[in-house]
Amino acid sequence: MSDNTTATQPAGVRHYSSLGSRVFDTLNIILLGGLALITVLPLFYVLAGSFATEGEISARPFFLWPEKFVTSTYEYIFANDTLLRSLLTTIVVTAVGTVVQVLLTFSMAYPLAKRYLPGRTLVLNLVIFTLVFGGGIVPTYLVVRDLGLLDSYWALILPLAINPFYLIIVKSFFQELPQALEEAARIDGCNEMGVFFKIVLPLSKPIIATFSLFYAVAIWNDYMSPLLYINDNSKWTLQVLVRQLTSPDAANAIGALDSAVFFPQQGLKFAVVVIATLPILCFYPFLQKHFAKGVLIGSVKE
């Protein structure tokens, strides 16, 4: 009877064999649920605060639903050239930087995946060396300055163009691709560039999506690079502006505003944080189907 019952049980259904197993799962759910609340509650608080009045933000230390919904903060943001310019700058730098960094990383990883490449071991050792030792802020700044990249958007892209850890993972992924596909393409008349763009890259969509997300998030959240290399406040990115808005001298971050002009200072901080976070949250679901597979690809041998 027990054998028949076991045979008809749906696949994937877990059966609790002991009290300890049930207690463990219950504690697991409580712990993970608590961690999820700790993560989500601040996001909801910031979102609610961006729609609340200045008086409510000052009077209530924490709330998840404003007593009165107002959109004056967002109206102020979209009517202010400084905030819109910073948002557009960040979007453009993130888009261009992601394309450049992914292209350079994959273009370097592909030849390094070929064991017959002369000097391959030396180059790989240099790449691994950079994982442990970095040039530091001052030498990097001097290089950027001597290249004439100060106050240039390229200073936010090129110094971090290739992440050595990502490069090694992509190289390992390329080594796992079937060599027969590349040989067949060469027999059909493809050169190395044709093999790379027509065969290798179309097979690499999961890992391209994964590292595009990694690079995009890193560029979007980058605060130190624009702080070091951008002196012109008209070229500020959104992260620098968020930092300036959370400082006591927030009015100067908006630009040359008249001191009598009112702007929702507390709500503005919340709203700018929402705007700085929302694009990445919207971008992630489109890459989610590739994300789990792409993270593991190239890191384990099958």
Q: What residue ranges do the domains of the chain occupy?
A: 4-70, 81-299
Residue 108 has pLDDT above 70, yes or no: yes
Q: How is residue 196 annotated by DSSP?
A: I
pLDDT band at 288, cuts 50/70/90? Answer: low
| Between 235 and 287, the higher pLDDT residue | 235
Q: What mean pLDDT do residues 239-267 have? A: 62
Look at the pTM and tell me if it is higher than 0.85.
no
Q: Would you state the pLDDT for residue 6?
A: 47
Q: Would you state the pLDDT for residue 257?
A: 43
Q: Return the number of other C-beta atoms located less than 10 Å from residue 299's C-beta.
A: 10
Q: How far apart are CA 267 and CA 58, in angstroms?
A: 10
> What is the CATH code of the structural domain delimited by 81-299?
1.10.3720.10
Q: Would you state the pLDDT for residue 259?
A: 42
Residue 25 has pLDDT above 50, yes or no: yes
Q: What is the pLDDT of residues 34-91, one digit of tens each?
A: 999 998 888 888 888 888 887 888 888 888 888 888 888 888 878 878 888 888 899 9
- Phi, psi (deg, nearest 5) at residue 260: -85, -10
Joined tokens for residue 291: 């994300």
- CA 141 → CA 5, 10, 111, 235, 250, distances in Å? 70, 61, 30, 18, 27
Q: Which residue has the tokens 């273009």?
A: 107
Q: What mean pLDDT do residues 205-230 have? A: 88
Number of Cα atoms under 13 Å in the Cβ half of residue 199: 21
Helix, strand or coil, per DSSP, at residue 12? coil
Q: What mean pLDDT do residues 184-188 have? A: 84
Whole-number average pLDDT of the chain: 81
Q: How far apart are CA 7 and CA 256, in angstroms?
A: 75
Residue 268 has pLDDT above 90, yes or no: no
Under 8 Å between Cβ of 170 and 109: yes
pLDDT band at 258, cuts 50/70/90? Answer: very low
Q: Would you state the pLDDT for residue 2?
A: 46
Q: Which residue has the tokens 């490069």?
A: 167
Q: Would you state the pLDDT for residue 232?
A: 84
| Between 226 and 134, the higher pLDDT residue | 226
Longest dimension (CA), the chain: 84
Q: Would you state the pLDDT for residue 7?
A: 47
